[in-house]
Structure 1
């Protein structure tokens, strides 16, 4: 007997807030003297009984009136008026004397009785499984419920199927729980009180998948697992026990159907076995199978009309036939005997084999026939397993290949072959984008002896959903196990280990993984990529550039998306942003055309990042948002963290301060536990850039200092140089690095940036270096440095960075009281920021331009700006103070003395009629809001 684990009963309903609100409204109306009726319909196990019990309990807690409640007894279904008798027996006191039951009570009499009871106090009538009552009781209850309404002070809530007796009454259909509600219920059921009792993620995913949103089924499945099975320390049984009563209840919905209809439903259930999950079955195959089984074509029509839920048990859409609910299909298979199931699978196998022989080129038909033969097998069959494995190599989709390999594994008699086929099936499932199912298949491989293929798939899954450090170790182990007999997959594991080290920001570990690739690499582009990346990280930049350029040229002709993605990485390392965009777009097109689905988030991430580097922020945001959806769908939170960082960077340009903070927080929350140094660096850079746009230079410098400087907290080795220009700007504006003075951290960062500029081909790098030098230059040299930077910008394009240089140059000129000269670059910066959609930077440029004495159009609508009565300098000070800045912080931002801020602030208070900083913030908040 299977031991059980302690399962806690749910204390509340999960995922039913909408239904509870409807019942609450009905109850509130009843309390106000306005009755009504509602029919709750649902398939078994979805919570209808719990909702009805909740409605009764809430009514009793309010003490607003009596309750008549009953649940149908199927054994009494043939006794006339037995349902009404059970209902009226639940009355809390004696019934009116003239309504004593004698030979039964008719519809009109029931209506009169309910109205009389409701006239005294609000009455709730609650009946569960009303469709199982006797016919007379159903008819009477339906008749009365339709006539109770406004002024009746009686509410009738029925739990029922889809019988015609209750047609015309308001109905509420309960669907399955959504993913969040099912997960919350599972947490409650397992009652995780410590790490020892925590549910293993693979087990969790399998339970949620198997329950299909049915709360009673989820409760039953969870209750039959031991603590070791829940924690992943013991293998899960297959199939999972505990759902028998729910499947039996679903099957009972189809009881009483003609034998030929039940046979056709079994044929339909078996015919889905070789199809992708959720695809249904082929209608033409089902009809041929029905004819071969001696059924007429009308049997399918009857099955389509058979009520099971709100539609037929089967539903036809074009050439496909689906069950109205996946649990109905499982219930049909559950009810059939093993012998009958094998007979049906054998019939379908014969039909599919005939089809494949008639058209030998139809590889899917041949594989489908083998899958049906597997269903007809009485036990392990080594020959059939070999045939399934061979056929799996011929199909195109990863999902079909995974299903065939999993069946081959279950039929295998050799344990080593069995483990290898499960590992291969898990890999195909991973490539299809189903990480949860891939982990469930891996759990069936076993750990003795260690299997290299399983380690490889586990490491690749951890690379997208797990610690980057753990993923690297897992993949290195896989490579060592696979090297003697599968060098191709060993190479793949080492490349994955290198990618994990890159994500973690561990350059030595990256080199270690790459240098372990000792076998000759047949792919010329890949060989150049490996050698070029190693040369770059070892400081041999000339050699690295030449090799990566060869890799880029070769990958441009490559057909596979993996090669194109490597080309995009090589282009970014080179600084060839246009080539990175081309490679990323090519990889995305290749993945969309032929898969694998697991690479879609990565393709979108690479393209979005390249577009961001190219200054195309809106396009980067669109691709990153699409990638985020794909990452969530395919179970890749690590990639989601990188995409959140990209979105934060885009928002730091476009002016969405809240959006930038939200995406950066999401990236940091995902990056920290998973050791994703690259995502963390980009997210911090995004926050700092948003601070700069808002004039918070001190905060920006504090964020960026640890990233660009030496020490253990430094940023990612491939991204930290990109943040140096922002760090220099923030440090100078915050007064941490005065121009012309010796500021070692800032000047050291600029010196390192200058070295980086010599070997990158990023066209914007020379302009950014000149801008950094201008910020640090003595007054006599700064103008020339700014002009030099603008010349570089003119050669390479890039409106956003050019506008930032113009903004800094104009602000520098204005602070030197050269306001007439300042207006030109400031005006150009304002126009460029507007063209880029950089709203926050537009506001900053507009403020500088107003301070230079030029009016700026584009004030927000909704009344006159209260700051319009102030001078440009007073306006800037008022905005900074309203944001919460102290006088000293305002002085640093605006490069003025604290005494000047004090003087202007007193005049601001007098002009606006406010007495405090709080009133000033409130005034500006009301106007801008």
Structure 2
């Protein structure tokens, strides 16, 4: 019977392609007869062992030669030469120097070097040592000495895995960082796929696992394995803290076990002092020093903790008046290692110190009485949180006090933490659920959507009075199908109406916003008309009535009400009111007022928050600036908004911002940039039903086609957007795209002949009606331009002159230049070349002034065809080599020349890696270079 052979492929190492390539280079050199060394450093669980195992397995699989490998045993750290003894015991055959003799007599560094060279002389030798930081000092010194002297011709490669802070001076070192988000997510997929649960892991549970693991692969493995299938699927509430991965936390804590007792107590104080602080804020150094003094710690305890090796720096790091742990897992490890009794004592001490802080007499009364009327003074909430951490079990009075103190002006993040603590102390199920829902709402406002969803998951099916539906709908509004968000918010409004008018109004406004994003005017009206009458806020009532009047065709009434709303926004200070004023101004067509309202809303959000509104404030301002023709400003604000949307977990807002960026790129001539942003906008808009983002992105692509002379493609893109039917564009953006549609259709020859009605003439007729209903200063000029394109030759010139006269009153370089370009082209095609040069020259100058490169190229071509030489048509000898590149290509070239990878360039410029690859190939071709090094030399010159 022939035995079967099973080949086991090693598990994939996620996010370690660069490290694997470096190790493969070392192995390749070893096979060619060279030697070398590499030290892999990193914190516990980060993946050193997996990389060493992969290196050893590859060496053995190829049959390159023998392997000496050992993993340190911490219990033998005080036994001289125990590490080298374990290493030599792994030899596949007898050695010239028996391992037992090494343990008895030791071995000098020179003798070890000779021994390794002798072994390498026979066949290439790989030496792998894991956890070398736990070796005895003699073994570490001898191995480091030998490894530094193994080079060309030695046929010995040494790979050492060691914790951060371990010194192997003179050897090349590679520090392993945490896995990035994509790699951690891929590892989680593999971990859950082994149990067949990959498709059934709840997104909220997934987010919590990735958050808790902090990019540590071994910790992620332990946390995933610690949950049941029901917990992974979200059917059962998650335990907090998450179980699993205790060995990783123990390994972190073990790094501090040798410290004096005073220093370990100080570290526990520092870890506990962060419980009442926002995530990542660290601990108050003054409070920590007071706590250390009260605990009787020596004055040197803090200084020693700041110097204790626990990473690349001390266990604690001080920045001004804040103290941080060098790694977040180290803080968790300190809390994990401490006994419950010790932790409660430390929290109790901190609560006492915060209670006796200046100005906290009122808090003392609240704590003694256990009441729920705590004032909002500075020390109240921190002391209550610390007292909650010290509680041994549920405490209804303390939970009430926490809820009462979690009010403005406290930041949303602190209020959320307090409410979550109050929920955990509550025994009443309904009250517990209500507090978790309130904590989720404040967490969302603080800009942490993932954590907000995790808190909502703890509410379960016990959501009282629609609070959970309200938060769930608002989260879906920024990251989910708009239709789902609308339904959740309408449900929340119905449940909240009997007892919470403020949140009922907030839910209905959110439902209306969802309907607007969907492009469903009837659903928008439905949500707005559900707002109860009267509305306490007069400006909000004007906004509601004005928007409803506009959508029902009562234009004059709507204009009057929205004008009052815009005027009220001038006196407003609340970000939401300012944003509504900006929307009202855009509906009116008053783009200058929209820009002012948007700028004030952005300033208000930056001053008072909430953080969750920052992406929307930037989106509204960027869109208003785009409508006003301020394309560079719009791009700057949209890019900032895009980063804020990603940071706060708002992909729907990111889709809208990508659409704005696509429109700015369609003006500035970045064809690839426009395509990249438009693709990103459409990728998010499609699944989530964001009709507004889809309309703007399609319009941007069409405008890029138009600038490049692809008029037929532009007309085909715009045709379904501006015409009635199921595929029509967003009701608030359709008319904005009509001028482009008319221009593209006329230039492509897709206009109906013989004066009959057709899509183009119908679009112009509808645009003419819309022009009478808006105060947009560009609309009359655009209408006259559309009529000129369709007019008979005898009337066209007059229409163009009329359009230019309107542009003179409206301002705006870009739209005026487009009219001048079309007018000049029309004159040239009628052989009036002398007359054509003036408008074409003015168009070229205007396009260059506003950075519209592609449009300037089109004007240059027309001007040359009119018989005028265009300056700068050919680059002079000795000119800047980057002049042949587009602005986007120039930016990418400079980033690459600075040493950035394609991924880093993509993140910096907010484009895809594929876009960077495409651009970089074109840069190489245009400059005649073949590598990044040559590109850097060209830019240096």
TM-score by structure 2 length? Answer: 0.89
Evaluate the alpha carbon distance shift between residue 80 and residue 834 of structure 1 in structure 2; reply closer, same or farther with a 3 A threshold: closer
Secondary structure at the aligned position of 2:298 is classed as coil
Q: Residue 119 of structure 1 is aligned with which of 118, 121, 124?
A: 121
2:30: which partner in 1?
30
Q: Say which is worse superposed, 95-104 or 299-308, in terms of deviation.
A: 95-104
Match of 1:426 among 440, 460, 466: 440
- Structure 2 Cα separation of the partners of residues 804 and 367 of structure 1: 60
Instruction: Give how far 1:203 is off.
Output: 1.1
Q: Tell me the CA shift for residue 859 of structure 1.
A: 1.6
Aligned partner of 1:855 in structure 2 is 869
CA contact (8 A) 1:576 1:761 kept: yes
Q: Residue 255 and residue 196 in structure 1: after superposition, are their counterparts in 2 closer, same or farther (change >3 A)?
A: closer
C-alpha contact (below 8 Å) 1:814/1:822 kept by paired residues: yes
Pick from 165, 168, 181 the counterpart of residue 166 of structure 1.
168
Aligned to 2:107: 106
Residue 67 of structure 1 corresponds to which residue in structure 2? 67
Cα contact 1:803–1:833 (8 A) shared by 2: yes
Contact between 1:99 and 1:113, CA under 8 Å: does it hold in 2?
A: no
Structure-2 change in CA distance of 1:451 and 1:149 (3 Å): farther
Does the 8 Å contact 1:199/1:230 carry over to 2? yes
**Structure 1 counterpart of 2:208, from 206, 209, 226:** 206
CA distance in structure 2 between the aligned counterparts of 1:558 and 1:503, rounded to whole angstroms:
25
Q: CA deviation at 1:163?
A: 6.6
Q: 1:833 aligns with which of 833, 836, 847?
A: 847
Q: 2-side partners of 1:601 and 1:487: how far apart?
A: 26
8 Å CA contact 1:196, 1:231 repeated in 2:
no
2:419 pairs with 397, 400, 405, which one? 405
Q: CA deviation at 1:179?
A: 1.9
Instruction: Note the C-alpha offset of 1:926.
Output: 7.1
What is the deviation of 1:792? 1.2
Distance 1:228 1:370, change over 3 A: same
Q: 1:380 aligns with which of 388, 394, 400?
A: 394
Quote the offset at 1:58 in angstroms.
2.5
Matched, 1:352 2:354: yes
Structure-1 separation of matches of 2:718 and 2:261? 74
Deviations along 1:536-593, one digit per CA (max 9) or x if unpaired, are 0000000000000000000110011111100000000000011001001110111111
The answer to whether the 8 Å contact 2:360/2:377 transfers is no
Q: CA deviation at 1:837?
A: 1.0
1:677 corresponds to: 691
Q: Which structure 1 residue ranges, 4+ long, deviate > 6 Å from structure 2?
A: 97-100, 192-196, 359-362, 862-865, 925-929
- Determine which of 126, 132, 137 is the counterpart of 1:130: 132
Q: Is the 8 A contact 2:192 2:198 kept in 1?
A: no
Q: Does the 8 Å CA contact 2:437/2:463 hold for their aligned counterparts?
A: no
Asked if structure 2 preserves the Cα contact closer than 8 Å seen for 1:660 and 1:687, the reply is yes
Cα RMSD (Å) of the superposition? 2.3
Residues 714-743 of structure 1 deviation map (CA, whole Å, 9 limit, x = unaligned): 000000001111111111111110576324
Aligned-partner SS, 1:38: strand
Mapped to 2, the partners of 1:196 and 1:112 lie a distance apart of 52
1:764-843 aligned within 5 A: 764-843=778-857
Shift of 1:457: 0.6
Cα deviations across residues 35-60 of structure 1 (Å, max 9, x unaligned)? 22222222211111111112212322
The answer to whether the Cα contact below 8 Å between 1:363 and 1:394 also exists between their aligned partners in 2 is no
Between 11-20 and 747-756, the greater mean CA deviation after superposition: 11-20
- Partners in 1 of 2:707 and 2:206 — Cα distance? 44
The alpha-carbon deviation at position 79 of structure 1 amounts to 4.0
Displacement, 1:351?
A: 0.8
* Equivalent in the alignment of 1:875: none
Q: Indicate if the aligned counterparts of 2:360 and 2:379 stay in contact, CA closer than 8 A.
A: no
- C-alpha separation in 2, matches of 1:825 and 1:670: 41
- List alignment gaps of at least 5 residues for structure 2: 1-7, 363-374, 880-921, 930-941
The answer on 1:19 being equivalent to 2:19 is yes
Give the distance between the partners of 2:114 and 2:141, measured in 1 at CA. Answer: 15
Contact in 2 for aligned 1:216/1:246 (Cα 8 Å): yes
Partner Cα separation in structure 2 for residue 536 and residue 9 of structure 1: 66
Q: Is the 8 A contact 1:64 1:121 kept in 2?
A: yes
Q: What do residues 37-86 of structure 1 show as CA deviations (whole Å, max 9, x unaligned)?
A: 22222221111111111221232234332211111223444444332222
The 1:452/1:754 distance shift into structure 2, 3 A limit, reads same
Quick check: 1:468–1:501 contact (8 Å CA) kept in 2? yes
Distance in structure 1 (CA, Å) of the matches to 2:98 and 2:415: 73
Residues 78-119 of structure 1, C-alpha deviations (whole Å, 9 max, x = no match): 444332222112222222379983634412321210111122
Q: Partners of 2:499 and 2:197 in 1: how far apart?
A: 39
Q: Does 1:486 align with 2:500?
A: yes
Distance 1:761 1:193 in 2: 62
Partner of 2:912: none
Q: Which residue of 1 aligns with 2:599?
A: 585
Change (3 A) 1:494 1:778: same
Deviates more, 1:811-820 or 1:96-105: 96-105
2:756 to 742, 752, 756: 742
8 Å Cα contact 1:138/1:165 also seen in 2: no
TM-score by length of 1: 0.90
| Equivalent residues in 2 for 1:549-628, closer than 5 Å | 549-628=563-642
Residue in structure 1 matching 2:317, options 308, 315, 318: 315
Aligned pair in 2 of structure 1 residues 9, 644: CA closer, same or farther (>3 Å)?
farther
Per-residue CA deviations over 1:164-194 (Å, capped at 9, x if unaligned) read 6634433322222222221221122222999
CA–CA separation in structure 2 for the residues paired with 1:61 and 1:679: 53
Deviations 1:337-380 (CA, angstroms, capped at 9, x unpaired):
11111111111111110005467698232211111100111111
Task: Show the 5 A alignment for 1:597-746.
Answer: 597-737=611-751, 741-746=755-760
Describe the shift of the 1:567–1:358 C-alpha distance in structure 2 as closer, same or farther (beyond 3 A): closer
Q: 1:588 to 1:270 in 2, by over 3 A?
A: same
C-alpha deviation, 1:852, in angstroms: 1.5
Range with bigger deviation, 338-347 or 113-122: 113-122
CA offset at residue 121 of structure 1?
2.4
Structural mapping, 1:362-381, within 5 Å: 363-381=377-395
Deviation at 1:218, TM superposition (A): 0.3
Please give the alpha-carbon distance, in whole angstroms, between the structure 1 residues aligned to 2:803 and 2:684: 37
Q: Judging changes above 3 Å, is the alpha-carbon distance between structure 1 residues 163 and 218 closer, same or farther for their aligned structure 2 residues?
A: closer
List gaps (5 residues or longer) in structure 1. Answer: 1-7, 866-921
- Partner of 1:294, secondary structure, is coil
- Contact kept, 8 Å, 1:681 with 1:715, in 2: the verdict is yes
Q: Which residue of 2 aligns with 1:499?
A: 513
Contact kept, 8 Å, 1:142 with 1:165, in 2: the verdict is no
Partners of 2:10 and 2:391 in 1: how far apart?
41
Which range moves more in the overlay, 653-662 or 19-28?
19-28
8 Å contact from structure 2 (residues 344, 390) kept in 1: yes
Check conservation: 1:203, 1:230, Cα contact below 8 A. yes
**What is the deviation of 1:449?**
5.4
Residue 256 of structure 1 and its aligned partner are, at CA, apart by 2.4
Question: Aligned residue for 2:88?
Answer: 88
Deviations 1:833-868 (A, max 9, x none): 111111111111111111112211212427799xxx
The answer as to whether partners of 1:410 and 1:418 remain within 8 angstroms in 2 is: yes
State the partner residue of 1:542.
Answer: 556
The equivalences for 1:148-187 within 5 A come to 148-161=150-163, 166-187=168-189
Shift of 1:250: 1.3
1:524 aligns with 2:543: no
Distance across 2 between alignment mates of 1:296 and 1:14: 45
C-alpha distance in structure 2 between counterparts of 1:252 and 1:662, whole Å: 48
Correspondence for 1:445: 459
1:239 is aligned to: 241
Q: Does the 8 A contact of 2:80 with 2:106 survive in 1?
A: no
CA contact (8 A) 1:39 1:170 kept: yes
Deviating more after overlay: 515-524 vs 750-759: 515-524
Q: Secondary structure at the match of 2:458?
A: coil
SS of 2:22's equivalent in the other structure is helix
Task: Tell whether 2:67 aligns with 1:53.
Answer: no
* In 2: Cα distance, 1:162 partner to 1:656 partner: 45
Partner of 2:370: none
SS state of the match for residue 309, structure 1? coil
